[in-house]
Amino acid sequence: MTKKFRFMTGLLAVVLAFVMLSSLAYIAVESDHDCTGVDCAICHQINVCENLLKSIGLAGSAAATVTAILYILCRIIPSCTEVARTFTLVSLKVKLSN
């Protein structure tokens, strides 16, 4: 990975964390507001923040699942090929000659 890619990934993570924390702070601060009824702008904004947090949470869990699967596959496949490679006739002859 290049330095620019790492920087952009880190910047994206910081921005995402800031958005999540600011949404949580807004919900916490405005949870006791004086509601004006059906067309309450604060209630609408709280709903938007809740939907944002739910979608970010779902995307984060999907990304974590894919990362875990790829990590497991990258650990299993090389070990399987290494085991299969050690049982060839040439590799056994090399082992015996040492």
9-68 pLDDT tens trace: 889 888 888 988 898 898 888 888 888 888 888 888 888 888 988 888 888 888 889 988
Give yes or no for a contact between 66 and 57, defined as CB atoms under 8 angstroms apart: no
Q: What is the mean pLDDT of residues 69-95?
A: 68
Structure tokens at 67: 């990362």
CB neighbour list of residue 5: distance below 8 Å, 6 or more residues apart = none
Per-residue pLDDT, 73: 82
Q: Check the CA dihedral 85-87-93-97 and report its sign.
A: positive
What was the pLDDT predicted at 87? Answer: 62
What are the start-end ranges of the H helices in the chain? Answer: 3-30, 41-86, 89-97
